[in-house]
Amino acid sequence: MHEFKFEPVQMPAAVEDLRKEVRAFIAEEVARGGFTPKRNSWSSFDADFSRRCGERGFIGMTWPKQYGGQERTALERYVMTEEMLAGGAPVGAHWVADRQSGHQILRYGSERARREILPKITSGQCFFSIGMSEPDSGSDLAAVRTRATQVDGGWKISGTKVWTSSAHRAHYMIALVRTAPKEEERHAGLTQFIIDLSQPGISVRPIYNLYGGHDFNEVVFDEYFVPNDMVMGEVGSGWKMVTGELAFERSGPDRFLSTYQLLAESMRVIGPEPDDRAANEIGRFVAHLATLRRMSTSIAGMLTRGEQPIVEAALVKDIGTTFEREIPEVFRHLIPTEPTLGDGDSYAELLGMTVLRAPGFTIRGGTREILRGMIARGLGLR
Ligand SMILES: Cc1cc2nc3c(=O)[nH]c(=O)nc-3n(C[C@H](O)[C@H](O)[C@H](O)COP(=O)(O)OP(=O)(O)OC[C@H]3O[C@@H](n4cnc5c(N)ncnc54)[C@H](O)[C@@H]3O)c2cc1C
């Protein structure tokens, strides 16, 4: 049985200095009109803001200096990300590259991939998308059917990826692809590839979401050529890599702060003298937030030590996304408001946008049912 351990981490003093630095950066940005705090911080794409984050050393902070990183700790990166999210900064353009793709390249990419791509990521000029889901395989990721066949100097890929966030504005994708026919061991024969989205052989078509926005896409590969040095790690060992990548994807503060703006704004609307019901709900949310933060920082510590806390990350994502989905449900009853659609600053619009985005929180990055299945297996229950 998996033993869940969420050991507390002590935030070193340097981390608190960095927190002040990031807060000052955000305040400066807001004051000079660099950005207006966004409700969907890590889903808001702003290439200019990403470039300014790169200039300040806020992207790829833990990576080696030789690839443009800062060689800072995972806890320092953690504090930077939570300040960006709490401040409503539009970090969406570089989010995926910073959170997971860059780590994958550092760990499994060829030397050419590291040298060419990582410095562009850290300077805030290169953005990534995630090519995991397919029309017939989302939860059951090992069932991917997009295929690569070996050709002279590399591989040719054909197939379809779906729900690919930001593929229409990213430069690259890391795609999970079948390189050998499915065998009894269903996790064998999969490989991750770095896909340059500017090359021929790919078409990207929009899929509009619940509130009519264009965040994700269908991506079709037609004999798309990838050179050998854009293959990640050993051919056929993609399953281990993709599950390790998901530990980065599932455990950070982005998995419980998606509706933080609504929580803060609701507390402001309710004011300093909440009635008993409002006080109970606010107290409960703040206590859950503190616990989630402790679990999530503990995972940041495990990732620093090179561990793969896959089940712990599933637990944080399940509890965290349930938390962020509950916030609009509770406050729409506490503050009777008719949600409306629009980009303005009103509480009704903030509520409207949050209500329409919320169903996706428990789907993206792995659904609740899948995560709970993993946790149950971890507990020895199945
Ligand atoms: C906002 C958003 C952004 C996304 N961005 C990306 C992206 O950038 N890249 C990417 O690759 N994907 C992305 N996705 C896709 C996401 O990862 C998949 O939607 C998700 O993994 C579920 O896969 P599916 O849609 O194929 O649903 P299915 O796998 O068909 O599942 C349908 C339902 O059945 C349940 N189910 C399935 N299998 C089981 C089982 N074994 N036991 C119990 N219940 C089960 C699921 O929980 C779900 O409720 C995004 C999704 C959203 C909502």
pLDDT of residue 125: 97
Task: For residue 11, give both structure tokens.
Answer: 């935030």
- Closest Cα to residue 254, out of 130, 370, 81, 90? 81
| 1 pLDDT higher than 80 | no
Percent of the chain exceeding pLDDT 70 equals: 100
* pLDDT score at 252: 92
**For residue 68, how far is its CA from the centre of ligand 1 (angstroms)?**
34
Tell me which of 95-104, 206-215, 243-252, 346-355 is least confident: 243-252
- Angle (CA) 261-364-353 rounded to 5° is 35
Smallest CA separation from ligand 1 atom 13, residue: 163
Cα–Cα distance, 315 to 378 (Å, whole number) = 10
| Cα separation, 138 vs 314, whole angstroms | 16
Which atom of ligand 1 lies closest to the CA of 166?
A: 8
User: How many CA atoms are closer than 13 Å to the CA of 133, on its beta-carbon side?
Assistant: 17
| 367 CA: nearest ligand 1 atom | 47
* Average pLDDT score over the chain: 94
CA distance 330 to 311: 29
Please answer whether residues 173 and 128 qualify as being in contact, where contact means their C-beta atoms are separated by less than 8 angstroms: yes
CA of 360 to the centre of ligand 1 (A): 9
In the three-class reduction of DSSP (H, G, I as helix; E, B as strand; rest coil), residue 229 is classed as helix
Helices (H), 62-212: 74-86, 92-96, 102-108, 111-122
The residue whose CA is least distant from atom 44 of ligand 1 is 369
Over the stretch 298-339, which tens digit does the pLDDT of each residue have? 998 888 787 888 899 999 999 999 999 999 999 999 998 999
Domain boundaries, the chain: 13-126, 130-237, 251-378
In this prediction, residue 157 has a pLDDT band, given cuts at 50, 70 and 90, of very high
Which CATH class name applies to 251-378? mainly alpha
Q: Atom 37, ligand 1: which residue's CA is nearest?
A: 139
Q: What are phi and psi of 197, to 5 degrees?
A: -75, -5
Segment 376-380 mean pLDDT: 91
- Residue closest via CA to ligand 1's atom 41 equals 370
Q: What pLDDT shows up at residue 86?
A: 94
Rg (CA), the chain: 21
Is the predicted pLDDT of residue 77 greater than 90, yes or no? yes
Provide the CATH topology of domain 13-126.
Butyryl-Coa Dehydrogenase, subunit A; domain 1 (1.10.540)
Distance 362 CA to ligand 1 centre (A): 9
pLDDT, position 290:
96
Percent of the chain with pLDDT over 90: 81
Distance 367 CA to ligand 1 centre (A): 6
| 363 Cα nearest atom in ligand 1 | 53
**CA of residue 220 to ligand 1 center, whole Å:** 19
Pocket lining for ligand 1, CB < 6 angstroms: 129-133, 138-139, 163-165, 216, 360, 363-367, 369-370, 373
Q: pLDDT tens across 9-68, in order?
A: 888 888 999 999 999 999 999 999 988 887 788 989 999 999 999 999 999 999 999 999
**Residue with CA nearest ligand 1 atom 12:** 133
**CATH 3.10.20.740 at 130-237, yes or no:** no
pLDDT band at 345 (very low <50, low <70, confident <90, very high): confident
